[in-house]
Amino acid sequence: MSSRAYPDRPFVGVGAVIVDGAARVLLVKRRFEPLAGQWSLPGGAVDVGETLAECVIREMREETGLEVEIGPVIEVFDRITRDGDGRVQYHFVLVDYVCRPVGGTLAAASDVADVAWAASADLPVFGLTDKATEVIGRGLALAADAGWSVAPRAAAPERS
For residue 2, is it within any domain?
no
In a domain, 86, yes or no: yes
- In the structure, what pLDDT confidence band is assigned to residue 13 with cuts at 50, 70 and 90? very high
Per-residue pLDDT, 159: 53
Regarding predicted confidence, which is higher, 158 or 24?
24
CATH of the domain at 37: 3.90.79.10
Whether 4 is in a domain gets the answer: no
Give the rounded percent of residues in the chain with a pLDDT score beyond 70. Answer: 91
Written in H, E and C, the secondary structure of the chain is CCCCCCCCCCEEEEEEEEECCCCEEEEEEECCCCCCCCEECCEEECCCCCCHHHHHHHHHHHHHCEEEEEEEEEEEEEEEEECCCCCEEEEEEEEEEEEEEEEECCCCCCCEEEEEEEEHHHHHHHCCCHHHHHHHHHHHHHHHHCCCCCCCCCCCCEEC
Asked whether residue 2 carries a pLDDT value surpassing 90, the answer given is: no
In a domain, 6, yes or no: no
Confirm whether 58 is domain-assigned: yes
Residue range 89-105, pLDDT digits in tens? 999 999 999 999 999 99
- Confidence category of residue 27, pLDDT binned at 50, 70, 90: very high
Structural domain contains residue 1: no
In a domain, residue 71? The reply is yes
Number of structural domains, the chain? Answer: 1
- Whole-prediction pTM: 0.87
Q: What is the span of the domain harbouring residue 54? A: 11-159
Residue 5 within a domain = no
